Structure 1
């Protein structure tokens, strides 16, 4: 849970920052960000984790190789799990913000004298957030599933290790318990995301 929450938060922050800064036509950073997003979204979690270990644990001993002792041991696993998700979310968010920037309300907001950053973060981002919420179920499933692999790569004790050991030892009750827990978390999170969508756009409550 700690790993999935940290990775989800990092992915969301990165996606919002990159998507907000690179949305709109004629931006050089858009091409660079698009290439990086495609690279991260296409890279398997375990391979990205190995690269992070080589770069920041073996070559530069900034973070521990394995274990779960303190926040430093959480940085690399969370990044390995967050970067592919952030790549996909940033692509979806940028496309939604491109469409929102073409709407008439943007002209009205700019005419009131708001700066570009305020226009994007306070108004455009709200209209572009619904596609992210639509992907919420997939994101949660990807984080939970990726956490199993990431824990093994970085030697972190957790639910992923328990699940793998249960599968290898044919411990059916434990496997079923993990599956039921994952399904429960998925249902609860999806319900919360649906409620957040209603808060962001109240018009959804009256749509057929």
Structure 2
């Protein structure tokens, strides 16, 4: 198990290094210069010599290879650089904006999980064929809805038409309702689809027939015997969906004008603030890798057979 854990951590480090390297190259080849965008403004009154000094201060006057090594060394020390536009360390910007995005992501994923479980289990408990078909068709409908479009529709319906939830100067929790729903609906769709398929497959296993033959009710078999086995594939897709969850949170924050990494990313893109964009990419990749590593470690706890296979493999 120790060797397996070391191998997975090594793979995670390799993924993070590749993410950092590719994002650095792509951001550097983009046209434009964040330093010139800010300091060539005539209102600042800086001379060409002063602008050249600013480029030297930010390390923009050295070769690309030297910039890469310098940036990589800083990241390894926990230094994500300075924002050219804000003039403050990137870590300070992340500390200010990251909590709001994490709050939205956690609440959105929790609601998505509740929706997925409700759709999957109700579709199996229902005794009406029409209702079962309708419930099973919901994931396909949810997954086809773009996040930005859903957010706009919810604002139009619940804020402007029904006037139930304000989007202008809302309360702390009122302002979270529509963004959470916007984020949760598309994420719940693939989770529900996997759960429905897994439940159908598990219900064909012999132990389910044995439990029913002993007199267990359909709902009892579903919750006590089927659910745990059906959750394993859903756990896998949940880890993969975390990347989509982060992307959805950024889009949702932009649609609803919420502070967080979404607004920070938008401003960084407009100003070509490479250090901020690089940090957001690395943080997102680190979160994605960590969640998937935790999912891999949870598998043997949920299914002892995987623990035996893992021990044999290493």
TM-score (norm 2): 0.63
Q: Which residue, 251, 258, 268 being the options, matches 1:149? A: 251
State the 1:67 CA deviation: 5.9
State the 1:112 CA deviation: 3.8
Greater displacement, 34-43 / 138-147: 34-43
Match of 2:193 in 1: 91
Matched, 1:41 2:169: no
Q: Which residue, 242, 246, 249 being the options, matches 1:140? A: 242
Greater displacement, 113-122 / 6-15: 113-122
State the 1:127 CA deviation: 0.6
Matched, 1:203 2:270: no
Match of 1:191 in 2: 293
State the 1:54 CA deviation: 1.3
Write the distance in 1 (CA, Å) between the matches of 2:272 and 2:209: 61
Q: Which residue, 94, 119, 124 being the options, matches 1:18? A: 119
Contact 2:122–2:135 (8 Å) recurs in 1: no
Q: Which residue, 130, 145, 166 being the options, matches 1:64? A: 166
Write the distance in 2 (CA, Å) between the matches of 1:67 and 1:151: 15
* 1:150-204 deviation per Cα after TM superposition (whole angstroms, max 9, x unaligned): 1111111111111111111111111111111111111111111112221111211
Greater displacement, 4-13 / 100-109: 100-109
Contact 1:66–1:154 (8 Å) recurs in 2: no
Match of 2:204 in 1: 102
State the 1:62 CA deviation: 1.6
The change in CA–CA distance for 1:129 and 1:170 in structure 2 (over 3 A counts) is same
State the 1:10 CA deviation: 0.6
Greater displacement, 134-143 / 43-52: 134-143
Give unmatched runs, 5+ long, in structure 1. Answer: none
State the 1:66 CA deviation: 4.9
Match of 1:7 in 2: 108
Write the distance in 2 (CA, Å) between the matches of 1:35 and 1:110: 28
State the 1:131 CA deviation: 1.0
Larger of the two Rg values belongs to structure: 2
State the 1:26 CA deviation: 7.0
Q: Give the 3-state SS of the residue equivalent to 1:113 in structure 2.
A: coil
The change in CA–CA distance for 1:86 and 1:66 in structure 2 (over 3 A counts) is farther
Contact 1:7–1:79 (8 Å) recurs in 2: yes
Write the distance in 2 (CA, Å) between the matches of 1:104 and 1:26: 25
Q: Give the 3-state SS of the residue equivalent to 1:173 in structure 2.
A: helix
Match of 2:153 in 1: 51
Q: CA RMSD in A?
A: 1.8
Greater displacement, 181-190 / 31-40: 31-40
Match of 1:129 in 2: 231
Aligned residues: 208
Contact 1:66–1:156 (8 Å) recurs in 2: no
Q: Give the 3-state SS of the residue equivalent to 1:13 in structure 2.
A: helix
State the 1:76 CA deviation: 0.8
